[in-house]
Amino acid sequence: MKKIFSTVPLFCITLICSAQLTYNNPILSGFYPDPSICRVGSDYYIVNSSFAYFPGLPIFHSKDLVNWKQIGHAMDRPDQLDLKGAGVSRGLFAPTIRYHKGTYYIICTLIDKGGNFVITAKDPKGPWSNPVWLKEVNGIDPSLYFDDNDKAYVLFNSIPPNNISLHNGHRTIRMFEFDAVSLKVTGEEKLLINGGTDMAKKPVWIEGPHVFKKDGWYYLICAEGGTGYNHSEVVFRSKAVDGSYISYEKNPILTQRHLDTARKKPVTTTGHADFVETPDGKWVAVFLGCRPYEADHYNIGRETFMAPVKWEGGWPHILEGNEEVKYQCPVPIPSLTKKVNNPFGGNAYFSTEFNEEKLDARFMFLRTVTEPWYSLTEKKGWLRIGLRKETCYGKENPSFVAFRQQNHNSTVTTSLDFTAGAVNEKAGIVVFQNETHFYYLCKSVNNGRPVVELYQSAKDSSMVLVASKDIDASVKELSLKIESGNSAYLFYFSQGGKSWILMTKEGLDAKFLSTKTAGGFVGAVYALYATSSGKESANKAWFNRFAYKGTDEVFK
């Protein structure tokens, strides 16, 4: 008996000691692609691409790399960012955030309007400066590197030598010196990488470059393989910052393209990484990835994942062999993480009754807001949205307040007070991927009677009516609900707090809103949306609640 009782406590102690606190991947779920990360003291900051959404470039802060809080946007003023006329997947591409001697820097590309630029701030919460344009930087995905001797460099993806492509997708990585005070490039452009890791294999789309230094070596990490299923991360190194760079023989250091496509709960499309070192010498990578629900279909876009970086033989390793991206991992800094409570990863919940003076930072708009068409102060507890002629299938700034869909299984509800004055006036909630791929559940009027309508977008920049139901004109309170369940969206309405009524017997095809079908680089959003469909109107819609709830099987 003594022997038995002496071993049980030891076994229990072993179990307790081996238990580790874990975090969920993705750390930023939903449409948060192209992550860049930097550390300043004990603080970590991430910035992501935002394309044609405004404000631009969301910024997140964490003390432990696990619990993240959005602290604002780097580009939140119309004089900073003009997105008028931009397609949903144009706008702001692939930012990099860095810090040097009291100043924060973000370098980025505004596609179709100005090209590459840099902005600065003394506080990452802002305000950030207006863009300083870098006309000499001919490419995309710019990055900044500050060397030990205070010299700075701009790296970027660019055209092939002499603009002659040896194969489709042939690109280069180039570099300028950078004056961090005058915010100008200096000297001559230098070619660092021509094509990619192995030109014999015709590598495509070398991009997303970042340089860092370790043990006397300069390491250059890049994305390769394109932004789809063949996406990867590769690494080169050199004894000099301007090369020559040698490709690692075991590249890529991160990809999932070689794994069984039929595997359970896959994470795909991994790449576009950035590294950060913790104060105790650990290295961590953030990178984008996707969570398909069927084949290569995913609606929520490219998300931000995190994984440890291991060093072997002087080279970094993220995933090796057939190792899969893990949904749950040990926290990287156990001494700092007492509890994991990250509202941006895992099963998400968000609710607002619009009692604040400002919209929550998670809300965003399609393109730059230049006139006051919405208000939180006109009537306390209500979000007022003016009906305007702009539509979500055009390329202006419609009356459209969006929230990212973060989970494939989700529910969004809102309450609405609105009386349509004509058939062109509509207000409700839309699940939106781009100008030609969305579903719209709204209140309107038909033959003088109020109705709830469900529309599907058409390729000719219009909408097709899917279903319409009469409602009681004497009941003002109307609630709308959209449910997503991997392969389908369901649409409901309720009057006076009564039971939910389904608009169609079968759900509408979710794959219609997937990136594979719709194309582009963004993810689906839910938006409160009101429009007078091309005609002038003084009407208004009032929303007094918005709630989002998302659940994914891997996080149960």
Instruction: Please provide the distance, in angstroms rounded to a whole number, between the alpha carbons at the two ends of the chain.
Output: 40
Q: How far apart are CA 308 and CA 332, in angstroms?
A: 7
Question: What average pLDDT score do residues 273-277 get?
Answer: 98
- Return the closest-CA partner of residue 225 out of 269, 275, 274: 269
pLDDT at 13 over 90: no
Q: How far apart are CA 142 and CA 136, in angstroms?
A: 12
Residue type, 123: D
pLDDT at 443 over 70: yes
Structure tokens belonging to residue 94: 């692939």
pLDDT digits (tens, 9 = 90+) for 138-151: 999 999 999 999 99
Reported as a pLDDT band with limits 50, 70 and 90, residue 101 is: very high
What dihedral angle (degrees, nearest 10) is formed by the CA atoms of 59, 64, 69, 75?
A: -10
Which residues make beta-bridge pairs with 413? 481, 547
Find out whether 480 and 530 touch, Cβ atoms under 8 Å: no
Find out whether 75 and 110 touch, Cβ atoms under 8 Å: no
pLDDT digits (tens, 9 = 90+) for 422-440: 999 999 999 999 999 999 9
Which residues are CB-neighbours of 460 under 8 A, at least 6 positions away?
Answer: none
Which residues make beta-bridge pairs with 531? 426
Find out whether 492 and 503 touch, Cβ atoms under 8 Å: yes
Which residues are CB-neighbours of 539 under 8 A, at least 6 positions away?
Answer: 386, 387, 418, 419, 420, 421, 425, 532
Rounded to 5 degrees, what are φ and ψ at 386? -80, 140
Reported as a pLDDT band with limits 50, 70 and 90, residue 553 is: confident
CATH (residue range 349-555):
2.60.120.200
Q: How far apart are CA 488 and CA 507, in angstroms?
A: 5
Question: What's 248's DSSP letter?
Answer: -
- Return the closest-CA partner of residue 417 out of 359, 372, 369, 378: 378
DSSP SS3 for 367: coil
Question: What average pLDDT score do residues 2-27 get?
Answer: 54
Of 34, 224, 274, 552, the active-site residue reads 34
pLDDT digits (tens, 9 = 90+) for 372-424: 999 999 999 999 999 999 999 999 999 999 999 999 999 999 999 999 999 99
Q: How far apart are CA 244 and CA 246, in angstroms?
A: 7
Residue type, 208: G
Question: What average pLDDT score do residues 276-293 get?
Answer: 96
Sketch the domain layout of the chain as residue ranges.
35-330, 349-555
* pTM for the predicted model, two decimal places: 0.94
- Predicted pLDDT of residue 556: 67
Percent of the chain with pLDDT over 70: 96
- Predicted pLDDT of residue 461: 76
Find out whether 157 and 196 touch, Cβ atoms under 8 Å: no
Q: Is domain 35-330 in CATH 2.115.10.20, yes or no?
A: yes
Which residues make beta-bridge pairs with 310? 317
Cβ–Cβ contacts within 10 Å for residue 329, how many? 18
Question: What average pLDDT score do residues 2-31 get?
Answer: 60
pLDDT at 250 over 80: yes
- Predicted pLDDT of residue 394: 94
- Predicted pLDDT of residue 61: 98
- DSSP codes, 464-477: EEEEEEE--TT---
Active site residue 34: yes
Of 64, 147, 198, 207, the active-site residue reads 207
pLDDT digits (tens, 9 = 90+) for 19-28: 689 999 999 9
- Predicted pLDDT of residue 536: 94
Q: How far apart are CA 273 and CA 275, in angstroms?
A: 7
Average pLDDT, the chain: 94
**Are both 35-330 and 349-555 of the same fold?**
no
Find out whether 410 and 549 touch, Cβ atoms under 8 Å: yes
Which residues are CB-neighbours of 162 under 8 A, at least 6 positions away?
Answer: none
pLDDT at 289 over 50: yes
Structure tokens belonging to residue 297: 């279909």
Residue whose tokens read 């509408």: 508
Active site residue 198: no
Structure tokens belonging to residue 470: 């009469």
Find out whether 450 and 422 touch, Cβ atoms under 8 Å: no
DSSP SS3 for 339: coil
- Predicted pLDDT of residue 12: 33
Which residues make beta-bridge pairs with 189? none
